[in-house]
Amino acid sequence: MQTDVGVQPRALASRKGCTPFQPIGEPAVQSCVPYRIRRKESVEEAFRRIALEQIDRATSEAKNPNPHQGIHNFRRRCKKLRGLLRLVRAGFTEFDAENELLRDAARLLGPLRDAVAQLQTFHTLASNLQPTNDGLTALLKQLERERDESFTTSAFTQPPLLDEALDRLASARTRVSGWVLNLGGFDAIRDGLERTYRRSRSAMRSAGSDTPDEHLHEWRKQAKYHWHHMCLLRSLWPDEFKARRQSADRLAETLGLDHDLAVLRDQLVSHADESQTGAALELLDARRLALQEQAHRIGATLLAEKPGAFVKRINSYWRAWR
């Protein structure tokens, strides 16, 4: 059986407004307005304002009539909140507790997001095998049925699980007005900005085609946090930060698509023998390699500066802006 590795699987519809017809490796770039620090407010004022905005948006968007989209929206807002906390972590004594609460609230709904992604990735893989075989087609349909059946007994039809996640976020909201930073100005964000940037560079160096998938997943997380920080600081120099936001977002999405394919690979290996999945694994591995190469190309430019030099440059923008 021949595979066409030049045919690009479609991106997952669960990802930030992507349609099922958007090619992998061309992820959508999302907007981050009004997720930003304003010139005439202190970092502490911005911290509390943005936290309240994101919590309120998470609460309202989670109630989307489309439960898939509602869960996606809720998790996305939790990630933006955690990115905000990471930027000011050096001066926020409650960072560990509040970050853990947000992480756990999003994790409650994580398996549901994963189920949607796996279903769509299964479908994508099957549609890009020309020709496919009956065994693989039957296997993928079986896995799709299993995931569909899981939704009938999941949080999609059991509101208490979503309610629990919302309750955790509501408890954080009651404390936001009392959140205090013991650092001000650029000092409030210097450590968080540098730490995330440094970790993203380190994760990129550790990530390769022969390294564990966990390293690639860690790189994706750090790239996403860097995107959050570029959104929050975008007013310093809109044109330059727009380019950095777009690159960081594309990097995180490319690595996220690779992660979804890694999960699918594990599913295929555990559910069938090589005679059924050989061609599928060949196609999947080729796509993963292409995505990883693309990620390294993006990262080489986005993360070219050493952390100290990067933060020093952003500090100079900060001083000019303020």
With residue 193 as reference, give the H or E element that holds it.
helix 187-206
pLDDT above 60 (res 20): no
Q: What is the model's pTM?
A: 0.82
- Contact call for residues 271 and 139 (beta carbons, < 8 A): yes
Residue 7 has pLDDT above 80, yes or no: no
Closest by Cα among 315, 236, 229 to 50? 229
183: closest CA among 94, 90, 98, 99?
Answer: 90
CA distance 194 to 178: 26
Q: pLDDT tens digits for 276-297? A: 677 778 888 898 999 999 999 9
What are the pLDDT digits (tens) for 23-50? 333 344 444 458 999 999 999 999 999 9
The helix (H) or strand (E) run that includes residue 87 is: helix 67-87
Q: How far is it, in rounded angstroms, from Cα 103 to Cα 24?
A: 27
* 287: phi then psi, degrees, rounded to nearest 5: -65, -40
Which tokens belong to 253? 């999405």
